[in-house]
Structure 1
């Protein structure tokens, strides 16, 4: 993980985790499961809403705060998982975008 903002976040999360002795709960399997669970909680905010409903609630500060909280949870677990696997998520996303450029040419 690099020393940019994501690297700083990773160090903050590791410090938080280690001060609580939670390392044993942060295996790659458990972190991957947590990403899925938190992603489902984010999805639940949008479940059963039409596109028009979503445009409306996207202006509601309480809805935005709930979405921000769930997005943060997903990012936290992804950051920890990437760290456990020695993956730089920014570099992985750049590489994936380059791969997608080849797979999906412009129209």
Structure 2
């Protein structure tokens, strides 16, 4: 994998996890990447994503990506949340995609389709 992936490239979760692990190892950050610390960092970054939307109306929040400065902030925070989630999963040996697939299957049984969309819990 090249250090600068282009949009639309075929990245995998494993490749991204490896790249994050190499980045952390090169800086000797592994000792800080405990499940507790990564869960806390994930929460902080999710909070920073929420902060962008905190005082927006529903209509303003739907248009947030149409403003370059705000779009860039959203993308950065999404990247931070995903990075910490992938590192968390790596440390604990959780297959994020399998966990999501299993959760969707459980929710499909728990919440049978009624023709209207519902979010996961």
TM-score, length basis structure 2: 0.83
Q: 1:5-84, aligned counterparts within 5 Å? A: 5-84=12-91
Q: Could you tell me how far apart the structure 1 residues matched to 2:75 and 2:96 are?
A: 20
- Alignment of 1:90 onto 2:97: yes
Equivalent pairs, count: 104
What TM-score do the two structures reach when normalised by structure 1?
0.93
Higher RCO (C-alpha 8 Å, min separation 6): 1
More helix by share: 1
The runs of 4+ residues in structure 1 deviating greater than 2 Å are: 55-58
Give ranges in structure 2 of 5+ residues lacking alignment: 1-10, 115-121
CA RMSD in angstroms, aligned pairs only: 1.0
| Runs of at least 5 residues in structure 1 that lack an aligned partner in the other structure | none
